Amino acid sequence: MSFKKKTKLKWIIFILLILAGSAYFFKDHLAILKKDTASSIDQVYVDSDGVEHMLDQGWFPEVSTSFARFYVGKHKEICGKVTQKAVTRKGAFINFGDRYPNHDFSIVIWGEVEKKDLPPIGQHLCVKGLVSEYNGKPQIELKTLNAQIYYKED
């Protein structure tokens, strides 16, 4: 390696070290490096079995239904507008984003649910739970229609 290339490489490393050190030193003052922990949303919720779960707040406390697919396997709060609802013998389905099969996200409620108890179409609501995937679509499964679902003002 020539002298010029070595010198250039040393300067690049030096500049990168300065930038990294500055970011570490000023991390408490740079808003972009802080996690959003100042939120009115509970970081712990109790599921339908009475088990407490930590909610993965991440950078944003709530996630739009169109981005739920990025949080499969995590406990999140997912929010959006209801576009379809259905009751079957096994449970109920609430779809967001579009009608089945083009929906972005679903809430699946296992067990007996009355159609009158489901939220109206167009209602903005949020659900807390473990995001799973079924046929390539993100969903949160619930055993009952309970406090994990709540209405939200636009």
Q: What is the pLDDT of residue 116?
A: 85
pLDDT in tens, 42-69: 566 566 566 666 665 555 568 889 999 9
What are the residue ranges in the chain where pLDDT is below 50?
Answer: 31-41
Label the pairing between strands 91-96 and 105-110. Answer: antiparallel
pTM: 0.64
Quote the CA–CA distance of 152 and 120 in Å, as a whole number. 13
Answer yes or no: are the C-beta atoms of 104 and 98 closer than 8 Å.
yes
pLDDT in tens, 117-132: 899 999 999 998 899 9
Strand partners, 130: 75
